[in-house]
Amino acid sequence: MANLNIRVDDAVKQQAEAVFAELGLSLSTATTVFLKQAIRCNGIPFDLRLEPFYSAANMAVLRESAKEAEEGKLTAHELIEE
């Protein structure tokens, strides 16, 4: 069996271990699952794409809206039901 040494940020490792623990997996097992899926898919086993919801422009709008909500500057609208 081979050893795999990788460097990741401490916080990333801790957060990943917490997620995997909830799933009943160790970090080693989760890594093995990822590698096997990569082999099966012949590539990265998930989509690598930018999520437009989290774009810098949209996050700025969301932060501004949250600020306005906290300051009580929002306008209430009635829902129109047909």
Separation of alpha carbons 37 and 30, rounded Å:
11
Assigned domain for 2 exists? no
* Predicted structure pTM score: 0.59
Q: Which pLDDT score is estimated for 48?
A: 82
Min mean pLDDT across 12-16, 27-31, 58-62 is at 58-62
- Considering its fold, how many domains does the chain have in total? 1
Over residues 32-80, the pLDDT tens digits come to: 999 999 999 999 999 888 788 888 889 999 999 899 888 888 777 766 7
C-alpha–C-alpha distance, residues 58 and 71, integer Å: 20
Cβ partners under 8 Å of residue 74, min gap 6: 65, 68
- Looking at the domain assignment, is residue 1 inside a domain? no
Q: What is the pLDDT of residue 79?
A: 67
What pLDDT score does 23 carry? Answer: 95
Structural domain boundaries enclosing 47: 10-70
Report the alpha-carbon angle 4-20-55, nearest 5. 95
- Asked if residue 51 is part of any domain, the answer here is yes
The answer to whether residue 3 sits within a structural domain is: no
